[in-house]
Amino acid sequence: MTKNHFYNSPIGWIKFEETEFGLTSLQFSKPPSIPQSNNSTKLISYLDSYFRHSITDWNTKLIPAGTAFQKQIWDIVKSIPKGRTKTYKDIALALGDVKAIRAVVNAIGKNPILLFIPCHRVIGSDGSMTGYAGSVDKKRWLLSHEGVSIQKTLDF
């Protein structure tokens, strides 16, 4: 059974879904239409810690729905440490195929579990803040929050 929860973060509402087996979705959303009581204290605690700068590890089971290729990309993205970035090209090279950049971009764009699979840490080769499901402004905020020095701010 899937349970839906909402969290009011400093940069907007977050909706997350979990089953008894783990977290299946976390996306920025509109505010809930009816008041919510969150009984997912573990996930709320993680989010509170992250936004207070005190998180050290997301110790929760992630169950993203996707293809084998997408999951492979998301595993690479999960390995990007807080305070660091990688480019789409870096990820394609980690796969062993620089020509896979478009496929990498598409897979990252379908990331169902934002923050926990930190796709906001993936930037353009020129340092640009390329697309982000939550918005480029949220991507900039998250990177700054994590201590990334943002020198280029080109948007395409």
Instruction: Point out the residues that are catalytic.
Output: 119
What are the two backbone dihedrals, phi and then psi, of residue 128, each rounded to the nearest 5 degrees? -75, 150
- The DSSP-derived string for 3-20 is EEEEEEETTEEEEEEEET
Amino acid (1-letter code) at residue 38: N
Residue 103 CB-density burial (10 A; 0-12 exposed, 13-18 middle, 19+ buried): middle
Alpha carbons 1 and 19: distance in angstroms, whole number: 6
